[in-house]
Structure 1
């Protein structure tokens, strides 16, 4: 998957988790929690969706890498590089 495809996957997950959020002006360098009403359960839902859809295991100590869109895409690129995008 390319970085743009990974970004779209995350957008799709965020749209399902927080359907009332407007993601059109999402700033990729600002933490999700500063831009959206996400709690810790929502964050875990993101991790679980990645596991369910792409079999990506994200250890708890790596959760800090998923704070912004930029850091999330950077973290996921090597894990998803050989995965075919369904986006």
Structure 2
């Protein structure tokens, strides 16, 4: 997957998890939690959805890498290169 495809996939997951959020103005370099009403369960849902859709395993120690769109795409890109 390309960076743009990964970004779109994350947006799709966020739309499913937080359907009332307006994602059109989401800033890639600002943490999701600063921009959205996400709690720790929502964040875990993101991780679980990535696992379900793409069989991507994300260790708990790496959750910090999923704070913003930029960091999430950068973290996932090498894992999803062949998808």
Q: Structure 2: 5+ residue runs without aligned partners?
A: none
Residue 80 (structure 2) aligns with: 80
Residue 50 (structure 1) aligns with: 50
Runs of 4+ in structure 1 off by over 4 angstroms are none
Asked if 1:71 corresponds to 2:57, the answer is: no
Residue 59 (structure 2) aligns with: 59
Please give the alpha-carbon distance, in whole angstroms, between the structure 1 residues aligned to 2:53 and 2:69: 18
Please give the alpha-carbon distance, in whole angstroms, between the structure 2 residues aligned to 1:16 and 1:54: 16
Residue 13 (structure 1) aligns with: 13
Please give the alpha-carbon distance, in whole angstroms, between the structure 2 residues aligned to 1:10 and 1:39: 16
SS of alignment partner, residue 78 of structure 1: coil
Q: Structure 1: 5+ residue runs without aligned partners?
A: none
Measured after TM superposition, the shift of residue 18 of structure 1 is 0.1
With the length of structure 2 as denominator, give the TM-score of the two structures: 1.00
SS of alignment partner, residue 27 of structure 1: coil
Measured after TM superposition, the shift of residue 42 of structure 1 is 0.1
With the length of structure 1 as denominator, give the TM-score of the two structures: 0.95
